[in-house]
A and B are shown apart, each in its own frame.
Chain A
Amino acid sequence: MTVGFDDSATFADYAHPERLVSTEWLAEHLGEPGLAVVESDEDVLLYETGHIPTAVKIDWHTDLNDPVLRDFVSAERFAELLGRKGISRDTTVVVYGDKNNWWAAYALWIFTLFGHEDVRLLDGGRDKWIAEGREIVTTTFAPEPAEYPVVQRDDSTIRAFKDDVLEHLGHGPLIDVRSPEEYSGERTEIPGYPSESALRPGHIPSAASVPWARAAAPDATFKSREELDGIYKGEAGLREGDDVIAYCRIGERSSHTWFVLTHLLGFENVRNYDGSWTEWGSAVRVPITTGTERGEVPTA
């Protein structure tokens, strides 16, 4: 850890308040040695239209996904990317982005896979920064390149693969963070315009439906600890100590939920199934259920 934490009272109730910084905190610390600011958006051009001064862009698709294999970039490519963005292994990284930090949380989760220790989210993300009238610039920030070590990903702790989910079925809770229509399996595409999707609609039996954005308040910040407890422990029925797997369509929205469960509510064994519905809904003979009920896990 290089830069001090944001110890404002707003975050005190969360399990790991050191994982969040406020817009005020960031404005005060911009330019401080050891701090890097990363913007990660759904829209690949949004950074170019204006961003927080000294922020670098990391795009989920072109930077973090392997162009050929369906997987994240290799350790070598990740090291090259971060070095180019002026980030060292001990840099404090604050990530922010559009749409309630949707893609920012995805980037943070991937940084965590590579074991980058001090990576935080800007609470409220891009929207809050702009809504508060804080400074944005259009000049692309060119940081001094840094040396980032080649470190292999740990894919076993916070990432789940299809076989992990099959083993988990019936033993632990699953959270489906997609929209209610995707969960129930209601068809939404218009005939003649096939969208990139899965072959079968529905959800993994026993998964609770908690659309990811329910964790966000209208100003794009995270809801309070109490509200989040009410949603995930109350409604979805998670219990302390549970091993949880979250999924969506390609693992981006569920990264946001992974962040909430791990860093805000303190669950210690949460995995994100990034294969998600685009894999599960096209796989042969995996159990699927449709409708609004969670459904039973088949006992075979």
Chain B
Amino acid sequence: MTTTALPTALKEIKDEFLALEVPDRLQLLLEFSNELPELPERYRDHPNLFERVIECQSPVFIFVEVGDDDIVQLHATAPRESPTTRGFASILAQGLAGLTADEVIAVPDDYPQELGLSQAVSPLRVRGMTALLGRTKHQVTLKRHS
């Protein structure tokens, strides 16, 4: 298996976190949390489309779309009372936006561990983000067209 370079948006997010001192990384995660977009209208009334990520301590649900052009879009929803989980979902939604199915599948599984968050939020909690990425990739594999 060849090592592929990290997609631009994911790389930028990683650099942004690592440029900060540990306490400020929490603030950046909170900003991501606040940026998690509302679900598009067409999905709001279809809770059955969403898969619960049970590895996360808080309820978070994801739904992955793979377009005809093989472009992946990740939708996620988590309650306001779970800002850490929302932050994780938001990082992935922004970082994976516009990538093809192949590119998403090639994202290293340990990307969440590279953000320098272990000390700020604890390794146990970072595992929730690893699970989010894993489930996203799994859905892409099932839904891709080629």
Contact = CB atoms under 8 A, between A and B. Distances in A.
Interface stretch (B24-32, B37-45, B63-71, B98-106): B24-32
Interface in A44-60: 44-46, 48-49, 59
B55 interface: yes
Contact of A43 (B82, B119, B120, B124): B82
A45 B55 contact: no
A59 B122 CA distance: 10
Nearest to A44: B121
A196 interface: yes
Given A61-B122, A61-B124, A42 B57 contact: yes
A49 B124 CA distance: 21
Q: Which of B54, B81, B120, B134 has the most CB of A within 10 A?
A: B81
A44 B26 contact: yes
Taking residues whose C-beta sits less than 8 angstroms from the other chain, chain A's interface range is: 10 to 19
Contacts of A61: 121-122, 124-125
Contacts of A156: none
A147 B57 CA distance: 35
Contacts of B83: 43, 45-46, 48-49
Nearest to A192: B138
Contacts, number: 58
A110 B68 CA distance: 55
A45 B54 contact: no
Contacts of B58: 42-43
A63 to B, nearest CB: 10
B131 interface: yes
B46 interface: no
Contacts of A49: 30, 33, 80, 83
A98 B81 contact: yes
B140 to A, nearest CB: 15
A43 B79 CA distance: 12
A247 to B, nearest CB: 19
A149 to B, nearest CB: 26
Interface in A31-74: 42-46, 48-49, 59, 61-62, 67
B30 A45 contact: yes
Given A44-B26, A44-B125, A193-B55, A62 B85 contact: no
B144 interface: no
Nearest to A250: B124
Contacts of A67: 119
Contact of B119 (A46, A62, A196): A62
B84 interface: yes
B127 interface: yes
B80 A45 contact: no
A228 B106 CA distance: 53
Contacts of B116: none
B87 interface: yes
A255 B87 CA distance: 28
A299 interface: no
Interface in B100-133: 119-122, 124-125, 127, 131
Interface string B43-64: 0000000000011011000000
B131 A44 contact: no
Contacts of B131: 193
Contact of B55 (A48, A98, A195): A195
A59 B26 CA distance: 13
Interface in A236-269: none
Q: Which of A43, A62, A67 has the most CB of B within 10 A?
A: A43
Given A45-B29, A49-B33, 6 more contacts: A44-B120, A44-B122, A45-B121, A46-B82, A61-B121, A193-B134
21 contacts: A42-B57, A42-B58, A43-B81, A43-B85, A44-B121, A45-B26, A45-B87, A45-B121, A46-B81, A46-B84, A49-B80, A59-B122, A61-B125, A62-B119, A62-B120, A62-B121, A67-B119, A188-B54, A190-B54, A193-B55, A193-B131
Interface of B: 26-27, 29-30, 33, 54-55, 57-58, 80-85, 87, 119-122, 124-125, 127, 131, 134-135
